[in-house]
Amino acid sequence: TSFGYRDVSADERQGLVNRVFAAVADRYDLMNDLMSGGLHRLWKNDLIAQLNPPRGEQPFRLLDVAGGTADVTLRYARASGPNATAMLCDISPEMIAVGQRRVAEAGLEQRIAFTEGNAEALPFADRSFDAYTIAFGIRNVTHIDAALREAYRVLKIGGRFLCLEFSEVQVPILDRLYDFHSFEVIPRLGQAIAGEAVPYRYLVESIRKFPNQEVFARMVREAGFERVTYRNLTGGVAAIHSGWKI
Ligand code: SAM
């Protein structure tokens, strides 16, 4: 299954996504706070709480795909012990540059490495990570099934897959507010802060086209993961899907 747009080809779509992130890399963290009203912070904390990385001396290797400005990776590094390391992989050199700066400012260069790469074809060996996270990233990937297969491939046996992504709002009234926010507020914020509204319309559309909780859970299972579950955050505005490579 692939989730392309009717009017934008698969190649054009990734190109558009790349332009959006290249353009906003420097303002990305501010945009996130404004567009989500700070909620993304709580959701990311929730993701790290579910991952529950070792706080002691045990070695642990996380792969954070579409890691962008390292928001998730930094939270992970702060929540884990000295031998817990992370590899952040992202397709955008501009987002990686911001991430590297933030990691250096936090003094965590020893534990966080960066690689430019596509989630659909990860530049890593089979069975090399204890956990795989992807936060607000898989929606931007053209072939979700390919990305999920890659997640499965690079995880060790016993490894954990965790995906934080926008999902289907399952609370009445909240869904109306959310529509207003998506179609009225976000493009205007994009215009005001990044100087471009059209790419943000595409991003909003990408949220709408992304499979809902149950459908995405099925896709995660189809990639080979077991014990697949999900949890809704803020009434389903976002969800965290979890699976294990057993
Ligand atoms: N995970 C970070 C966070 O939660 O703050 C960044 C999320 S940001 C919304 C999406 C990221 O996905 C961008 O940094 C973008 O460059 C990256 N991305 C888009 N398509 C990708 C792909 N095919 N492979 C890897 N990364 C991709």
Task: Determine the distance separating the centroid of ligand 1 and the alpha carbon of 70, expressed in angstroms.
Answer: 10
Element (H, E) at 87: strand 84-90
Q: What distance in Å separates the CA atoms of residue 109 and residue 80, rounded to the nearest whole number?
A: 15
Q: Which phi-psi region, left, alpha or beta, contains residue 23 (left: φ > 0; alpha: ψ -120 to 50)?
A: alpha
The answer to whether 119 is annotated as binding is yes
Task: Determine the distance separating the centroid of ligand 1 and the alpha carbon of 91, expressed in angstroms.
Answer: 7
Give the tens place of pLDDT for each residue, 61-96: 999 999 999 999 999 999 999 999 999 999 999 999
List all residues whose CB is within 6 A of at least one atom of ligand 1.
17, 21, 65-69, 71-72, 90-92, 95, 118-120, 135-137, 140-141
Q: What distance in Å separates the CA atoms of residue 53 and residue 86, rounded to the nearest whole number?
A: 11
Ligand 1, residues 91, 144, 166: which to mutate, most atoms within 8 A of Cβ?
91
Give the tens place of pLDDT for each residue, 163-185: 999 999 988 898 999 999 998 88
Q: Report which residue type is found at 194.
A: A
Q: Which phi-psi region, left, alpha or beta, contains residue 115 (left: φ > 0; alpha: ψ -120 to 50)?
A: beta
Atom 18 in ligand 1: which residue has the minimum CA distance? 66
Residue ranges of domains in the chain, CATH in brackets? 10-174+212-244 (3.40.50.150)
Task: Determine the distance separating the centroid of ligand 1 and the alpha carbon of 90, expressed in angstroms.
Answer: 6
Sequential DSSP letters for 175-232: HHHHHHIIIIIHHHHIIIIIS-SHHHHHHHHHHHHS--HHHHHHHHHHTT-EEEEEEE
Atom of ligand 1 nearest to the CA of 203: 9
Q: Which is more confidently placed, 10 or 54?
A: 54
Q: Report which residue type is found at 204.
A: V
The answer to whether 118 is annotated as binding is yes
Q: What distance in Å separates the CA atoms of residue 134 and residue 127, rounded to the nearest whole number?
A: 17
The answer to whether 71 is annotated as binding is no
Q: pTM of the predicted model, to two decimals? A: 0.93
| Confidence at residue 196, expressed as pLDDT on a 0 to 100 scale | 76
Of 84, 226, 110, which is closest to residue 159 (Cα–Cα)? Answer: 226
